[in-house]
């Protein structure tokens, strides 16, 4: 008999799943726009969007229509054959970025794996080292965990694959000194999401570009969280004055369907030849159709302009909140609609409790990097919904 309460579904789930997740006591059964509904009918204002995945909100009509149509035409054939949905997606990605070649995968970790492998094969074998940053997050596979600059994700899985090193966040001098004859690439997120909503300075990123040019290295931007409109431009690099050699995408690309992409230029892409890399499901027709629909909505006139405006509004409201509760919050930071409320030492101690209380009040956020409350609403969020979240957060901080 199927359970129909949160507790019943949770109890059944806990009996069959490996315990890799600490879940909140809600079984979500329905979503629309910026709202989710659990098995008992309770509604939640979603300021997490599946961790920056549902950029157009839950069950966007255009994406749902594309999924349903494609599912009735062709679901899977593998990459032994061409399909139109993945071709159209690659055309859209290259037309609206620096890149002219695309590799499609199923997730962010796989997109980063592809970038790592491409950088190494481009390096010719002798150059294989990749420098990333402390506080970074690049995925859960062994290679992407090794690239991740947070020891907590590596604990218990040692020894890590060799060839990865981590430079201090924002320190160009130290990073420059770490470059050797074996280095092939520098990998970073323009803004660290999991690391606590930490943007990298424009000047620092320009410095990375200069170092890569000087030493003939590849600059890889992990835009898995910052890409697809999240920062107010389609890709974050567009507003930072820095063009990478390789860029990785996932999360919001399919608005909920699993899909990832690695983008690069033709000359670099030539290092991959048939058989050097691949994916059974990468660019699956249904996921690709969802991604095409997602991109078309985001590229419509005024969409990204409105994301920037709402991002500024959210940032301003969080700054007001920080000023009101100075013992708990130090200020806001972020780009577009990825914003963080940085907590004080006293606030950090209550970060998890704040998130739990917001959940109980019907609003979903999370605590990133043990330093900031992270806000990732769907890009279609309204100012009224931002106000509702701020009001709930005001109540919770007041309780603290």
The tally of CA atoms less than 13 A away on the side-chain side of residue 392 is: 21
What mean pLDDT comes out for the span 155-168?
96
Percentage of residues of the chain with pLDDT beyond 70: 99
What mean pLDDT comes out for the span 84-108?
98
What mean pLDDT comes out for the span 31-51?
97
Contact call for residues 390 and 321 (beta carbons, < 8 A): yes
CA distance 97 to 393: 37
Amino acid 25: pLDDT: 94
Neighbour tally for 101: CB within 10 Å: 18
CA 378 vs. chain centroid, Å, equals 13
Cα end-to-end span (Å), the chain: 42
pLDDT tens digits for range 125-156 = 899 999 999 999 999 999 999 999 999 999 99
The tally of CA atoms less than 13 A away on the side-chain side of residue 296 is: 14
What mean pLDDT comes out for the span 178-200?
96
CA distance 393 to 373: 10
What mean pLDDT comes out for the span 263-277?
97
pLDDT tens digits for range 111-126 = 999 999 999 999 998 9
The residue assigned the tokens 């690309």 is 253
pTM summary value: 0.96
Amino acid 3: pLDDT: 60
Distances (CA, A) of 125 to 75, 118, 170, 271, 276: 38, 11, 29, 12, 14
CA distance 287 to 282: 9
CB within 8 A of 219, min separation 6: which ones? Answer: 185, 186, 208, 209, 212, 242, 244, 245, 246
Neighbour tally for 150: CB within 10 Å: 18
Please list, residue by residue across 300-312, b when 16 or more beta carbons sit within 10 angstroms of its beta carbon and e when fewer do.
Answer: eeeebeebbebbe
The residue assigned the tokens 């670099």 is 268
pLDDT confidence bin for 1, thresholds 50/70/90: very low
pLDDT tens digits for range 312-341 = 999 999 999 999 999 999 999 999 999 999
pLDDT confidence bin for 183, thresholds 50/70/90: very high
CA distance 246 to 209: 12
Query: Does the pLDDT value for residue 227 go beyond 90?
Result: yes
CA distance 4 to 20: 24
Arithmetic mean of pLDDT over the chain: 96
Q: What is the largest CA-CA distance in the chain?
A: 65
Query: Does the pLDDT value for residue 2 go beyond 60?
Result: no
Query: Does the pLDDT value for residue 245 go beyond 90?
Result: yes
Map the chain to HEC letters: CCCCCHHHHHHHHHHHCCCCCCCCCCCEEEEEECEEEECCCCEEEECCHHHHCCCCCECCHHHHHHHHHHHCCCCCCCCCCCCHHHHHHHHHHHHCCCCCEEEEECCHHHHHHHHHHHHHHHCECCECEEEEECCCCCCCCHHHHHHCCCHHHCCCCCCCCCCEEEECCCCHHHHHHHCCCCEEEEEECCEECCCCCEECCHHHHHHHHHHHHHHCCEEEEECCCCCCCCCCCCCHHHHCCCCCCEEEECHHHHECECCEEEEECHHHHCCCCCCCCCCCCCCCHHHHHHHHHHHHHHCCCCHHHHHHHHHHHHHHHHHHHHHHCCCCEEEEEEECCEEEEEECHHHHCCHHHHHHHHHHCCEECEEECCCEEEECCCCCCCHHHHHHHHHHHHHHHHHC
């Amino acid at each position: 008999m199927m359970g129909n309460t949160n507790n019943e579904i949770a109890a059944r789930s806990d009996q069959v799943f490996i315990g890799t997740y600490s879940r909140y006591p809600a079984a979500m059964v329905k979503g629309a726009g910026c709202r989710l509904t659990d098995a008992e009918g309770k509604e939640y204002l979603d300021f997490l969007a599946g961790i920056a995945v549902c950029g157009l909100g839950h069950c966007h009509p255009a994406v749902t229509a594309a999924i349903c149509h494609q599912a009735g035409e062709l679901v899977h054939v593998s990459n032994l054959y061409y399909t139109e949905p993945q071709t159209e997606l690659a055309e859209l990605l290259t037309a609206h970025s620096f890149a002219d070649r695309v590799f499609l995968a199923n997730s962010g970790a796989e997109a980063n794996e592809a970038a790592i492998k491409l950088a190494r094969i481009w390096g010719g074998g002798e150059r294989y080292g990749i420098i990333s940053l402390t506080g970074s997050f690049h995925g859960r596979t062994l290679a992407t965990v090794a690239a991740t600059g947070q020891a907590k994700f590596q604990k218990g899985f040692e020894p890590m694959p060799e060839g990865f090193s981590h430079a201090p966040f924002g320190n160009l001098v130290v990073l420059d000194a770490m470059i050797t004859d074996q280095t092939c690439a520098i990998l970073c997120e323009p803004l660290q999401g999991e690391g606590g909503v930490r943007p990298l300075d424009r000047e620092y990123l320009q410095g990375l570009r200069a170092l890569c040019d000087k030493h003939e290295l590849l600059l890889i931007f992990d835009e898995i969280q910052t890409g697809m409109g999240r920062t107010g431009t389609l890709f974050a690099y567009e507003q930072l004055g820095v063009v990478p050699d390789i860029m990785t995408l996932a999360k919001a690309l399919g608005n909920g369907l699993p899909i990832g992409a690695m983008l690069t230029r033709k000359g670099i892409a030539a290092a991959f030849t048939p058989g050097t890399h691949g994916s059974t499901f990468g660019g699956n027709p249904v996921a690709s159709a969802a991604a095409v629909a997602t991109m078309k909505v985001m590229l419509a006139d005024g969409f990204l302009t409105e994301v920037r405006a709402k991002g500024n509004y959210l940032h301003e409201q969080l700054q007001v909140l920080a000023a009101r509760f100075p013992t708990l919050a130090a200020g806001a930071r972020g780009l577009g609609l990825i914003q963080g409320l940085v907590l004080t030492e006293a606030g950090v101690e209550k970060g998890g409790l704040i998130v739990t209380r917001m959940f109980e009040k019907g609003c979903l956020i999370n605590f990133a990097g043990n330093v900031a409350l992270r806000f990732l609403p769907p890009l279609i969020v309204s100012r009224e919904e931002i106000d509702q979240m701020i009001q709930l957060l005001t109540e919770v901080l007041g309780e603290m």
